Amino acid sequence: MRAGSSTSSIGKNVANRTGFRVVGTSVPRVDAVEKVTGRARYTGDIVLPGMLHGKVLRSPHPHARIRAIDARRAEQVPGVVAVLTRDDLKDIDPYYGPVVQDRPLLALDRVRYAGDPVAAVAAESEATAEQAASRILVEYEELPAAVGVAAALAPGAPRIHEGPHRAGEERLSVKPIPGTNICHHERLVRGDVERGFAEADLVVEDTFTFPMVYHYALEPHTVVAHWDKDALTVWASAQHPFLVRGELARIFRLPLARVRMIIPFVGGGFGSKSYTKIEPLVAALARKAGRPVRVAQSVSESMHTTRRHSVTCRIKTGVKRDGTLVAKACAIHLDTGAYADNGPQVANRAAQRVIGPYRIPHLQIDAYAVYTNSVPAGSFRSIGAPQSIWACESQMDIIAERLGIDPLALRLKNVLKRGELVRTGMKPLDGDISVGLRKTAEALGWRRRPGADGRGLGLACGFMNAGAFPVSIAIVRLHADGSATLLVGTTEIGQGARTVLSQIAAEELALPLSEVTVARGDTDAMPFDRSTGSSRSTTLMGLAVQRAAREVRDQLVKIGAKLLRAPTRAIEVRNGTLSAGRRKVMSYADVIAGHFGLPGGELVGRGYVRPPGGKPVNPVFWEIGIGGADVEVDRETGQLTIRRYVSAADVGKAINPRECEGQDEGAAMMGLGHTLFEAIRYEDDQIVNPNLIDYRVPLFTDLPEEFVALLVENGDGPGPYGAKGMGEGGIVGVSPAVANALARATGVRVRDLPLTPERVWRALRQSDGSKENHGDRLSSD
Amino acid sequence: MMRLPAFTYLAPPTVAEAARAVVEHGGEAMLVAGGTDLYPNMKRRQFEPKVLIGLGAIRELRGVSGRAREGLRIGPTTTLTAVARHPEIARHYGALATAAGLVSSPQLRNMGTIGGNVCVDTRCNYYNQAYEWRKAIGFCMKKDGDICLVAPSSSRCWAVSSSDTAPVLWSLGARVRLVGATGERTMPVEALYRDDGIEYLAKRPDEVLADILLPPADGWTSAYLKLRRRGSFDFPVLGVAVALRIEGAVVRDAKIVLGAVASLPRSAPAAASALVGERLTPEVITRVADLAAGPAKPLDNTDYAHFYRKKMTRVFVARALRRLGGLDGEGRAEEEVA
């Protein structure tokens, strides 16, 4: 793959015009050397005195009542210190969950999926723990299981959860449908959808499916828990340490101040480490063992911990002959698995995101998060979006084809403009999608005739309400020698947050980047940050860092003015010094020493980001993702080769352009996984490919021959310097862009993912067959 | 995945001592070369040997010698990387270099050996799983159970031969020398395989693969095409090995051997003989490709449905023939990924 990337000319060189020093430049990652030399420490590297190793026993059954657990044989294994079962949870509140607290940290009365944790062993070695876990006797009474949404919604389907659960911390009003396995129903209505269909010249209806996929963060979930009397310290690969802290405090009935989350380097998250995963289980095991316990999951165990929702999306769209969209009705069913986790929010986002960035007067969108007896689904890079945009954007091309309109033109005709109302109560569109679409099409060579050489071009776009809840707090400490430390609760999950936040602080403090350090994540030291996800950190934590740094700079200037005997407005801040004219110059260190009267002391600045009046603007910003694919089809095998992939991200202002391109590239390549290769397959109620040999993520050999990253920079984001978040948008357009390219190359439309050669080959064959029998394919539908 | 179970590792310095060690430890011992397949399988408890007899220290088993004019001798513990890069092999036995270079990933080819690939365990979706998984779903007859989960009424195991180099070696007319505790024998490579997913090798446990012998290469050209989901790492779900001796433009001799369509490599003799005396015209290629697909009997126990793999056999044989006949104007890559 050629890393042929370029930066769009829109708003280009804002940096130069406004004289940034560090912001807007592609400085190397601040942690690059640590990582490539292996010095970076991850949770799995933590070794504590007396630390034990934990192993979890998981249910072999998809749905069963637990009659009895006999742990004696495990306890007798030499080296075993503790076996944790449901009997040990009686003095704590074992339930957790971000939206509904429906998940016990160990199965209590029954197991709800093959892989559900049933017991855990802490032992002197991992091998001993594993051996002992296999000796625990569990007596199950098997119950009818419902794997898959169809089974879970069938009449007489087993109920996977009884009764209402407490709400979690997320502010989403959950609407279960009583008497069913539907744990949340999200409905969006605008206008009168039936009237809209009546007014339409053409109504198309399609059903699309999207597979279950796994995040495959290189580092599986890893947690070390340590109790010191009644204070709990947890090292974890967690994206949202403050939310995990809250859950742990509630479960173990501790004040927040006695729960400390320490987040070393994290080997990738992608949503798999959002919210609380195995932290309560490991903490409970350590509590019973009376010693620190480390649990490092295998890939297979992590595949049995969380995944992305598989989705069936029925989508019906009414359109005028000239391409004007008038009505859309959707029924989206999301397989949320055995526990809700983030599922209701994923359903909420899927419902919003299936509409697409288009003006549609009449809407009725229903999204259902459905409990099933499979691995719980949760957050995954741009929740609900790749699934719903796959349906929306594939169908846009179907409509274009039926109406004989160019797919780009159809999109441009309907796309929302900057400042246009998206939906009542939401922030108007804050970006320019049509420009990004045009640029992407241009970079693809859109005007080339499609299909002639077995090649086709496809486009897709999506926009996502991003940023999650806007609360982030930062502290900047300017030390006695003039260097600075940032205290931020943002988790570095490989996205480059430490680098970008350092750049912002260096810019504001007029320091070289080498003088700025981001402290390690630790909830005892860091002020609160709501979460790391939803493309929010550059925008929200970036703003908090900017404010905190400015507060420090203001203090510095005030003190410096006094010491230099000059008015504050005469003070210039440059490269670690204050000056008032050529003769009056002081280093930051001199200023601080002068202020405190000794070579010591420090200045502290705080930056708060919170919604004005406590009511958040929804969304923080609109994240725009646009993709374009140039695809070659091998008609004999069904093999697709992506000759070029173009991804456009509207970043407002690129604090670090190379990191932005890297994020976009990473997101698009991840999208390539579910587009061409990946699917978790269930057979006999078990995952049949729970390993990296049979679960196939794309490899170097599978990447597009050429990748183009376009960064749209209009300085129009709510973050520092007009930045807005990115890193998720790149994933949403891949599947529809590739499928649209396939359709334009061959006339064959595939509505299921992944687009494996076998699936494409079958579709081509079917189409050849139906052409022979029925003549023109298009006239038959 | 579980941890590697405890075992004793022996490193005999000669083949004879290795063979004697196997006899001494009886059913508890296994031979190991690169270990890239065996060790992960041991972690999943597909194998539970108490003793491993490593072949890595036996100098006579490593390296390539001879000339293509007289035939080559390949030591079985020669790494796949070394085979793929060997100039004499690449020039005169092209399909073998291709096949060796398509096994797994660069790291595993640096450790994995050609002998290991020739003897590699058969594979099946229901067998190549972690112990706990197999236990949950009910063990199969290949390990710990007594039925076949692919074909429940079957009395035999249908696990799939998954070697890339085996079909190529067969198509090239290779022979193997086996050295056992009580003697040695040399035989055609195809005689090494049995049509059984469990007892897939016709080699006694104490017999050590000592030599892979390639016949003189004169006049032969060869090609290997591999079907798998991704461009690297994956085992084949179809391998097509074709070797032709062409004089003028006429095929004088032909071998077509298919991999990963049964528990052993399958030759397609009817297709091969239909080539003899013919020029590689599009018509001939189509006819031969149809015949070649006949012996392919894949089942649904690997990636991709059997129907598709069978259909692709025809496509891949045709492509291999086109390439060898110089009809492939585009100069395609060595591999077909599908």
What pLDDT digit, counting tens, does each position of B286-307 carry?
999 999 999 988 888 999 999 9
A774 and A630 part of one domain: yes
Res A733 pLDDT > 80:
yes
A749 and A629 part of one domain: yes
H/E stretch holding A350: helix A343-353
Query: Cα(A320)–Cα(A303) distance, rounded to whole angstroms?
Result: 45
A555 and A623 part of one domain: no
For A699, the closest of B137, B232, B312 (CB atoms) is B232
Res A9 pLDDT > 80:
no
pLDDT, residue A452, reads 62
Mutate which: B312, B316, B317, B322, vs A, most A CBs within 10 A: B312
A632 and A687 part of one domain: yes
pLDDT, residue A772, reads 52
Mutate which: B37, B132, B234, B334, vs A, most A CBs within 10 A: B132
Q: Cα-flanking dihedrals φ and ψ of residue A404, to 5°?
A: 70, 30
Average pLDDT over residues A666-674: 97
pLDDT, residue B336, reads 45
Lowest mean pLDDT: which of A346-350, B156-160, B250-254, B297-301?
B297-301
CATH code, domain with A644: 3.30.365.10
Q: B61 is in which domain, residue-wise?
A: 1-123+159-338
DSSP string of A551-613? Answer: HHHHHHHHHHHHHHTS-GGG-EEETTEEEETTTEEEEHHHHHHHHHTSS---EEEEEEE--GG
Spatial contact of B159 and B301, defined as CB atoms under 8 Å apart: yes
**For strand A293-296 and strand A222-228, is the pairing parallel, antiparallel, or unpaired?**
antiparallel
Mutate which: A116, A375, A636, A641, vs B, most B CBs within 10 A: A636
A588 part of a folded domain: yes
**For strand A231-236 and strand A259-263, is the pairing parallel, antiparallel, or unpaired?**
parallel
For A758, the closest of B1, B2, B304 (CB atoms) is B304
A452 and A567 part of one domain: no
A485 and A568 part of one domain: yes
What is the overall mean pLDDT for chain A? Answer: 94
Look up residue A499 and give its amino acid.
T
User: With an 8 Å Cβ cutoff, are B137 and A684 in contact?
Assistant: yes
A373 part of a folded domain: no
Res A4 pLDDT > 50:
no
CA-based nearest distance B316→chain A, Å: 9
A376 part of a folded domain: no
Please identify which residue in the block is written with the tokens 């060790």: B39
Tokens of B205: 């446990």
CA-based nearest distance A762→chain B, Å: 9
Contacts of residue A761 in chain B, CB cutoff 8 Å?
308, 311, 338
B154 part of a folded domain: no
Angle in degrees, CA A730, A736, A740, rounded to 5: 130
What pLDDT digit, counting tens, does each position of B105-139 carry?
999 999 999 999 999 999 999 999 988 889 888 99
Confidence of residue A749 (pLDDT cuts 50, 70, 90): very high
Confidence of residue A728 (pLDDT cuts 50, 70, 90): very high
Res A520 pLDDT > 70:
yes
Res B220 pLDDT > 50:
yes
pLDDT, residue A155, reads 96
pLDDT, residue B132, reads 86
pLDDT, residue A17, reads 42
What is the share, in percent, of chain B residues with pLDDT greater than 90? Answer: 88
In angstroms, the first-to-last Cα distance of chain A is: 39
Query: Cα(A110)–Cα(B21) distance, rounded to whole angstroms?
Result: 51
Bridge partners, residue A478, by sequence: A484, A603
What pLDDT digit, counting tens, does each position of A405-446 carry?
999 999 999 999 999 999 888 999 999 999 999 999 999 999
DSSP string of B11-60? Answer: --SSHHHHHHHHHHHGGGEEEESS-TTHHHHHHTTS---SEEEE-TT-GG
pLDDT, residue A173, reads 87
pLDDT, residue A781, reads 30
pLDDT, residue A770, reads 73
Average pLDDT over residues A741-766: 97
Contacts of residue A126 in chain B, CB cutoff 8 Å?
3
Tokens of A554: 């203001």
Average pLDDT over residues A581-595: 95
pLDDT, residue A579, reads 95
CATH code, domain with B113: 3.30.465.10
Confidence of residue A380 (pLDDT cuts 50, 70, 90): very high
CA distances from A357 to A76, A461, A593, A607, B265 (A): 62, 8, 55, 33, 54
Q: Cα-flanking dihedrals φ and ψ of residue B189, to 5°?
A: -60, -35
CA dihedral A615, A618, A620, A625 (to 10 degrees): 170
A774 and A732 part of one domain: yes
Query: Cα(A290)–Cα(A52) distance, rounded to whole angstroms?
Result: 10
Average pLDDT over residues B214-235: 95
What is the share, in percent, of chain A residues with pLDDT greater than 70? Answer: 96
B151 part of a folded domain: no
What pLDDT digit, counting tens, does each position of A679-713 carry?
999 988 999 999 999 999 999 999 999 999 999 99
H/E stretch holding A31: none
pLDDT, residue A8, reads 31
Q: How far is CA A735 from the centre of its chain?
A: 17
pLDDT, residue A758, reads 97
Confidence of residue A453 (pLDDT cuts 50, 70, 90): confident
User: With an 8 Å Cβ cutoff, are B128 and A693 in contact?
Assistant: yes
pLDDT, residue B329, reads 53
Query: Cα(A607)–Cα(A475) distance, rounded to whole angstroms?
Result: 6
A485 and A459 part of one domain: no
What is the 8-class DSSP label of residue A713?
-
A407 part of a folded domain: no
Please identify which residue in the block is written with the tokens 């939803």: A534
What pLDDT digit, counting tens, does each position of B64-76 carry?
999 999 999 999 9
Q: Would you call A649 helix, strand, or coil by DSSP? A: strand
A72 part of a folded domain: no
Query: Cα(B238)–Cα(B221) distance, rounded to whole angstroms?
Result: 21
Q: Which is more confidently placed, B308 or A778?
A: B308
B75 part of a folded domain: yes
Look up residue B336 and give its amino acid.
E
pLDDT, residue B265, reads 98
pLDDT, residue A2, reads 41
Query: Cα(B253)–Cα(A81) distance, rounded to whole angstroms?
Result: 69
CA-based nearest distance B262→chain A, Å: 19
What is the share, in percent, of chain A residues with pLDDT greater than 90? Answer: 91
CA distances from A433 to A447, A459, A664, B55 (A): 19, 13, 16, 63
CA distances from A766 to A460, A676, A748, A759, B140 (A): 26, 20, 9, 11, 36
CA-based nearest distance A35→chain B, Å: 21
Question: How many domains does chain B contain in total?
Answer: 1
Bridge partners, residue A263, by sequence: A521
Tokens of A737: 């862009």
Spatial contact of B106 and B81, defined as CB atoms under 8 Å apart: yes
Query: Cα(B333)–Cα(B314) distance, rounded to whole angstroms?
Result: 18
For A758, the closest of B105, B232, B308 (CB atoms) is B308
Peptide bond into A264 cis (omega under 30): no
Query: Cα(A677)–Cα(A297) distance, rounded to whole angstroms?
Result: 24
- Closest to A732 (Cα-Cα) out of A261, A210, A317: A210
B49 part of a folded domain: yes
Q: How far is CA A345 from the centre of its chain?
A: 12
A605 and A624 part of one domain: no
Task: Give chain B's radius of gyration (CA, Å).
Answer: 20
What is the 8-class DSSP label of residue A271?
T
A501 and A488 part of one domain: yes
Look up residue A777 and give its amino acid.
R
Confidence of residue A449 (pLDDT cuts 50, 70, 90): low
DSSP string of B198-267? Answer: SS-B-S-TT-EEEEEEEPP-TTEEEEEEEE-SSSSSPPPSEEEEEEEEEETTEEEEEEEEEESSSSS-EE
CA atoms in the 13 A half-sphere facing the CB of A517? 10
Average pLDDT over residues A457-468: 95
Q: Is A124 on the interface with B (CB under 8 A)?
A: no
Query: Cα(A476)–Cα(A486) distance, rounded to whole angstroms?
Result: 5
Q: Which is more confidently placed, B55 or A454?
A: B55
Confidence of residue A18 (pLDDT cuts 50, 70, 90): low
Tokens of A369: 């998060």
What pLDDT digit, counting tens, does each position of A191-243 carry?
999 999 999 999 999 999 999 999 999 999 999 999 999 999 999 999 999 99
A748 and A733 part of one domain: yes
Single out the residue in A567, A589, A614 at which a domain terminates.
A614
Confidence of residue A740 (pLDDT cuts 50, 70, 90): very high
Q: Is A694 on the interface with B (CB under 8 A)?
A: yes
B147 part of a folded domain: no
Contacts of residue B293 in chain A, CB cutoff 8 Å?
none
In SS3 terms, A173-184 reads as CCCCCCCCCEEE
Spatial contact of A129 and A116, defined as CB atoms under 8 Å apart: no
For B229, the closest of A298, A677, A684 (CB atoms) is A677
A569 part of a folded domain: yes
Q: How far is CA A5 from the centre of its chain?
A: 24
Q: A486 is in which domain, residue-wise?
A: 469-614
A145 part of a folded domain: no
ipTM over 0.85: yes
Confidence of residue A769 (pLDDT cuts 50, 70, 90): confident
Question: How many domains does chain A contain in total?
Answer: 2
Sign of CA dihedral B199, B204, B207, B211: negative
Res B338 pLDDT > 60:
no
B128 part of a folded domain: no
